[in-house]
Amino acid sequence: MKRLSIILAAALTLLSLQPASAQLNSALRSLGNKAKGVLQNEANKAVRSGGESFKEAPSNNSGAASASRVAQGKTIYVSQTTGSARADGLSPSTAMKDLQKAIGAAEENDMILVAEGNYLGSMDRGYIEIGRFGNATHEPGKFICLFGGYAPDFSERDVVKYVTKIQPYDQSFIAPLLNFNARRPYGYSGPVGNVVVDGFVFDLGENNRYCVANVDLEITGTPNKGVLTGRFLEPDASPQCPIEGFSSGDEYALHMDVEGNVRVSNCIFVNCRDYGISALMGKGHMEICNNIFISCRYAACQVRGNVKDADIDKVSLDFHHNTVLFTWTRTKGFEDMGQGFRFMNGIRTIDVHNNIFGCNSNCAVERVYYESNKAMEAAKISNLYDNYFFANRRDLELASAGAATISVPAARIEEAEQIGPKYEGNKDLPASEKAFIDAIDKSYLEGFMNLKIIRSQSYNANSAANQVNRLFGLNQQGSEIIRPSMYCNKYPWEKAKDLFGKVKGYGAQKPE
């Protein structure tokens, strides 16, 4: 038997650079202000008026529609604790109880305010949809805005205090936790609306399958007694150990097929078994800001352009002030995936800045895709600047002319020609940012920092399978066992909230 141990570890003592100051985008400052009585907070007002929360797309996206040209609709209130199944939802005192029903009642450009609670769709099926998943052509969805984080009586908004979540626990389904379609018919040239998802927790940790935690049983992948579960189990895995939880396949947390003015902000994506955000973006501008991604599998965030080549210059993406931790690979063998953020094709301008990327099992940021022709690739703007990195397997992964990709540490990102024109200010997380490290679940962090993958290979010439294979002239068979000390274990979702606002100007700031 051949035994190979691969150690993936890093030391926090290497984080030695000093912090740099940065100002949070003015759009974020308008989010999350407390409401007075039944008045909307400033973020909601901005959406209704087409104000600063939705600025015009960058100048290179002159073809994108402006939110200010769209007449805003009505406001619908949803409260799981104080709402009614038969209410109209048009005031806090007549709030609806079911978010899916409110979405069904909403019309173009309406806004839905959602109080604290766990919203699981019609009859608690486990997911919410705005347009059918995978069928945007026939289910175009709606341009609406969703704001969570309200008190049950809507007297106050605080997304950390009043948790609005989509957290299934024993449902069987194959769909994203939230699917959001908002597209106009092909050839449409008029104004498009706003799309907002703000103030929600997306958690699949209660629905995933895990080995039951047992530090004395290596097969469970339990790194220490403080981690909630053993390792994550792929849907077809059947290990010889006790299992907890339930899963029926790979589901996104938030899937979007949208266009126009789009924002995802103040959300938490935790324990997501198939991407935190996976999106298709049409003409317009998408902003993904002030979110926390933690313990997501495949990738924390990927957004592809979904337009014809001639319209790529009308698509842009801004990914900023997010905290991205513990993104896991597709399988327990750590062969592929596991990216924090992915630069994808079909988008002319992508800005990635003022984020914190840490403990991502493949890479923090990936830039390996190229446009279909040299002219489009030459026009592509892939900005990566003013970010903090720590304990990632790779900080930046680039495509290579050879078989292997190129790993680029934060300090050398300026040398990567695929990045730019903005590339300055990427650094290791300063050692002085102890408050941020302390906010991460200690047991989970220690488990990751001491991660081991043990591969065991064996061959038995006298096994029944090999005896039959020899009889028919077939190849002999061996076996391989892969046992990671940790793989996509459940992260305590309540502790994810502690990561807001721990580093001034970098990562997810405290919603105010």
Least trusted range by pLDDT, from 53-57, 95-99, 156-160: 53-57
Buried b (16+ CB within 10 A) or exposed e, 459-491: eeeeeeebeeeeeeeeeeeeeeeebbbbbbbbb
Helix and strand numbers, DSSP H then E, in the chain: 8, 30
Note the pTM of the prediction, 2 decimals.
0.85
C-alpha to C-alpha distance for 302 and 341, rounded to whole angstroms: 6
Looking at per-residue pLDDT, the higher value among 480 and 73 belongs to: 73
Indicate if the pLDDT at residue 175 is higher than 60: yes
- The whole-number pLDDT of residue 461 equals 65
Of the pLDDT bands very low, low, confident and very high (cuts 50, 70, 90), residue 46 is very low
Residue with tokens 């769709």: 121
- The whole-number pLDDT of residue 459 equals 53
Q: Give me the count of residues in the chain.
A: 512
Looking at per-residue pLDDT, the higher value among 196 and 49 belongs to: 196
Q: Are 324 and 232 in contact (CB under 8 A)?
A: no
- The whole-number pLDDT of residue 478 equals 54
Least trusted range by pLDDT, from 200-209, 248-257, 275-284, 300-309: 248-257
Indicate if the pLDDT at residue 361 is higher than 70: yes
Indicate if the pLDDT at residue 68 is higher than 80: no
Mean pLDDT (the chain, rounded): 84
Stretch 337-354: mean pLDDT: 98
For 16-40, how does the pLDDT look when each residue is reduced to its tens digit (9 = 90+)? Answer: 333 333 332 333 233 333 332 333 3
For 266-300, how does the pLDDT look when each residue is reduced to its tens digit (9 = 90+)? Answer: 999 999 999 999 999 999 999 999 999 999 999 99
Stretch 68-91: mean pLDDT: 89
For 320-341, how does the pLDDT look when each residue is reduced to its tens digit (9 = 90+)? Answer: 999 999 999 999 999 899 999 9
Closest-CA residue to 201 (of 280, 113, 294): 294
Closest-CA residue to 134 (of 248, 236, 235, 251): 251
Stretch 351-374: mean pLDDT: 96
Stretch 131-147: mean pLDDT: 81
Max mean pLDDT range (4-13, 238-247, 392-401): 392-401
State how far Cα 350 lies from the chain centre: 16
Closest-CA residue to 357 (of 331, 322, 332, 310): 322
Q: Are 391 and 430 in contact (CB under 8 A)?
A: no
Q: Are 337 and 361 in contact (CB under 8 A)?
A: no
In angstroms, the Cα distances linking 10 to 365, 391, 448, 452 are 18, 6, 9, 12
Q: Are 388 and 371 in contact (CB under 8 A)?
A: no
For 88-118, how does the pLDDT look when each residue is reduced to its tens digit (9 = 90+)? Answer: 999 999 999 999 999 999 999 999 999 999 9
Q: In the chain, pLDDT over 90 holds for what percent of residues?
A: 69
Q: Are strands 478-484 and 451-459 parallel, antiparallel or unpaired?
A: antiparallel
SS (H, E, C) 212-270: CCCCCCHHHCCCCCCCCCCCECCCCCCCCCCEEECCCCCCCCEEEEEEEEEEEECCEEE
